[in-house]
Chain A
Amino acid sequence: MVQAVISGNYAQAYAAKLARTQVVAAYPITPQTTIIEKIAEFVASGQMDAQYVKVESEHSAMAACISASALGARTYTASSSQGLLLMHELLHWASGARAPIVMGIANRSVAPPLSIWTDHKDTISQRDTGWIQMYAESGQEVIDSVLVAFRVAEHEDVLLPAMVAEDAFYLTHTYEPVDIPTQDQVDRFLPPRKPSSGFRPGLANRYGTFIGPELHMEFQRKVAEGMERVPRVFREAEEEYERITGRNHGGPMPTYRTEDADAVLVTMGTAATTARSVVDVLRKHGKKVGLAKIRVFRPWPVPEVRALGADVDRIGVLDRSFTFGASGAAHTEFAAAMYGSPHRPLVRDFVAGLGGRDLTPPMFTQMFESLLSSEKEEVSWVGLKRRPEVTVRG
């Protein structure tokens, strides 16, 4: 293991390299660019033995990944925001085709207006596509989660694509100390990909095909069953990863100081780092607060959510995106998972940090205080400027 000070994006690139990815097809978009630039460097120098397909759009990137994966290659790509949205049609195709592609995502907001800064609208709006979705808090989590993603995605009980998301700039471009596993460690954790589809050139077979109402539902059911098997496969993969590297990031929804908490905030991505420090400060002042972090959004961690909700009365879900006409997606899914439970906590939605708006310690303090108070507003937009007071000097 090597410790290096690298960005979240470089952590993605190192993971793709260590995984012995065979095909990369990618198109640049801020702030993902340094992932694919690093990979291009690795390939050009001979450090990484991959075919690098220089596609002319993200839609073509995903198309090339799907066809490469169908033939049996281990495949990786990366995108963000508009690029991820451009791939949308093909995200459905990848999961329906059971192509275990791994994709790094720089979580970036969506136009208009154009923004290069972070929120989760891009990946949240893909939550119906049948992809495993993970959110990383740190560079260490990025590199470890991408490697685990390859193993889970390619597992014969799963065979589904997986995306690992990191917040734009806060993580993509922030340099942190990261333990980079050795090639030997990764080879032990991640053997070469076994052919999974049965598809071969040179003989009579057709992959994808078309079907009428008589059998489409059954193929969709198979995708659902693959996703149902992810929690077990994920747990086993992370246990093995811990045996080899000594690291474990706490499963699909790690918790911090929630055991006796009166109020818990649920976050995704880098917000957890700031929130955790606020938890410690408030605890020093006698406030019993805690933090939970959604690492795996798809499949939604129902057992972990229900276990948390069973013991805590007030839960605030921090959504770094908003589903217009409903509420923040994580909030919706959290409340839905709790609906049938005997103990139903208050589940409130804190919509914050959209379009790259910084999430500061005072904002987290405000959210915890609000949760601990008698306020019951179901959806609160935190930090919204009701008086933007933009002045143009002319």
Chain B
Amino acid sequence: MRSYETLEDLPEAPLATVLSDIIQTGSWRTFRPVVRKEACTKCYVCWKFCPDVAIAIDGDGYPTVKLDACKGCGICAEECKPKAIDMVPEE
């Protein structure tokens, strides 16, 4: 994270260099995807179709949802052929 304390700290021209991962778009969600590993065939369609790059593949090869980022759009659950992903309401 860069810090712009003073006017002099700001770049002369408007140049943005901080990666957007710090913005927690997970707060947008009303539904959260939950992967049922026992049904998952590790086809990675969920990883493939996520517009928010919010699904990663863990060390065991299962998809894992980055909850800080996931907006709950539901594409992963919709496209999952074995229906191994449930969209669960957030409290």
Contacts and interface: CB of A to CB of B under 8 A. Distances in A.
A206 B12 contact: no
A218 B13 contact: no
Contacts of B11: 198
Interface stretch (A129-137, A207-215, A295-303, A364-372): A207-215
A96 B11 CA distance: 12
A197 B11 CA distance: 8
Contact of A207 (B7, B10, B14, B19): B14
A196 B12 contact: yes
A197 B12 CA distance: 7
A208 B17 contact: no
A218 B7 CA distance: 7
B1 interface: no
A376 interface: no
Contact of B13 (A98, A204, A211): A98
B16 interface: yes
A221 B12 contact: no
A309 B20 CA distance: 55
| Interface SS majority for chain B | loop
Contact of B17 (A204, A211, A222, A226): A204
Given A218-B7, A221-B7, A197 B13 contact: yes
A208 B14 contact: yes
A222 B15 contact: no
Contacts of A222: 7, 10, 12
Interface string A97-109: 1100000000000
Contacts of B15: 197-199, 205-207, 209
A91 to B, nearest CB: 16
Nearest to A99: B13
A97 B19 CA distance: 21
Interface in B8-53: 10-17, 19
Given A204-B19, A218-B7, A221-B7, A159 B14 contact: no
Nearest to B4: A215
B16 to A, nearest CB: 4
A179 B17 CA distance: 46
Contact of A159 (B7, B12, B19): B12
B12 to A, nearest CB: 5
A339 interface: no
Interface in A221-242: 221-222, 226
Contact of B14 (A196, A204, A211, A226): A211
A382 to B, nearest CB: 44
Contact of B12 (A98, A211, A215): A98
Contacts of B12: 98, 159, 196-197, 222, 226
Nearest to A208: B14
A219 interface: yes
A205 B13 contact: no
Nearest to B10: A218
B3 to A, nearest CB: 14
A205 B17 contact: yes
A205 B7 CA distance: 20
B20 to A, nearest CB: 9
A198 to B, nearest CB: 5
Interface in A153-204: 159, 196-199, 204
B16 A219 contact: no
A196 B11 CA distance: 10
A219 B14 contact: yes
B75 to A, nearest CB: 25
A-B pairs with lowest CB-CB distance, top 6: A98-B13, A206-B16, A209-B16, A197-B13, A205-B17, A207-B15
8 contacts: A96-B14, A97-B13, A98-B12, A197-B12, A199-B15, A204-B19, A206-B17, A207-B13
Interface of B: 7, 10-17, 19
Interface of A: 96-98, 159, 196-199, 204-209, 211, 215, 218-219, 221-222, 226
